[in-house]
Amino acid sequence: MKYSTIVDYILQEISLGHMASGTRIPSIRDLCSRFSCTKSTVLRAYTALKEHGAVYAVPGSGYYVLHHSGSEVSDKKIIDFSGTSLDRSSLPLGEFQPCVNQAFSKYKDSLFTYADPQGLPALLEAVRKHLQDHQVFTGSERIFITTGSQQTLSLLCKMPFPNGKSIVVVEQPAYQGILQSLKLNGVTVLGVARGFQGFDFEGLEAILRNDGIKFIYTVTRFNNPLGLSCSNEDKKRLLELAQKYNTYIVEDDYIGDLESDAKSTPIFSFDMSDRVVYVKTFSKVMMPGLRIAVAVLPKLLVNTFREYKYWSDLNTPLISQGALEIYLSSGMFNLHIQKVRSLYGNRIACLRRLAEKYDSPAIRWHVPLKNGFYTGMEILNGGSGKAVRESLIKKSILLSDMENYYLQEFYTDKILRLSVANAELHEMESGISAIIDEMEKGSPSGRVSIRL
**Percentage, residues of the chain above pLDDT 70:** 94
**Cα dihedral: 200, 359, 84, 430 (round 10):** 170
pLDDT value, residue 324: 97
The structural architecture, per CATH, of the domain 335-450 is Alpha-Beta Complex (3.90)
**Domain definitions of the chain by residue range:** 2-75, 93-333, 335-450
CA dist 278 → 13, 128, 293 (Å): 48, 12, 11
* Residue-wise pLDDT tens digits, 37-82: 888 888 888 888 887 778 877 766 788 887 554 444 444 578 999 9
pLDDT value, residue 377: 94
CB environment 222-240: b (16+ within 10 A), e (fewer)? bbbbbbbbbeeebbebbbe
* Residue-wise pLDDT tens digits, 269-321: 999 999 999 999 999 999 888 999 999 999 999 999 999 999 999 999 999 99
226: Cβ–Cβ under 8 A, 6 or more apart, which residues?
173, 196, 366, 374, 375, 376, 415, 417
Instruction: Find out whether 125 and 132 touch, Cβ atoms under 8 Å.
Output: no
> Cα–Cα distance between 344 and 335 in angstroms, integer?
15
> Cα–Cα distance between 418 and 436 in angstroms, integer?
12
Handedness of CA 296, 299, 300, 306 (dihedral sign): positive
Instruction: Find out whether 347 and 91 touch, Cβ atoms under 8 Å.
Output: no
What mean pLDDT is reported for the chain? Answer: 90
Phi, psi dihedrals of residue 80, rounded to the nearest 5°: -100, 100
Helices (H), 254-331: 302-313, 318-329
Beta strand 276-281 with 248-252: parallel, antiparallel or unpaired? parallel
* Residue-wise pLDDT tens digits, 384-441: 999 999 899 888 899 988 999 999 999 999 999 999 998 888 899 999 999 999 988 8
Q: Does domain 93-333 have CATH number 3.30.479.30?
A: no
445: Cβ–Cβ under 8 A, 6 or more apart, which residues?
361
Decide if pLDDT at 452 tops 50. Answer: no
Q: How confident is the model at residue 32 (pLDDT cuts 50, 70, 90)?
A: confident
Q: Give 2-75's CATH code, choosing from 1.20.59.20, 3.40.630.40, 3.40.630.10, 1.10.10.10.
A: 1.10.10.10
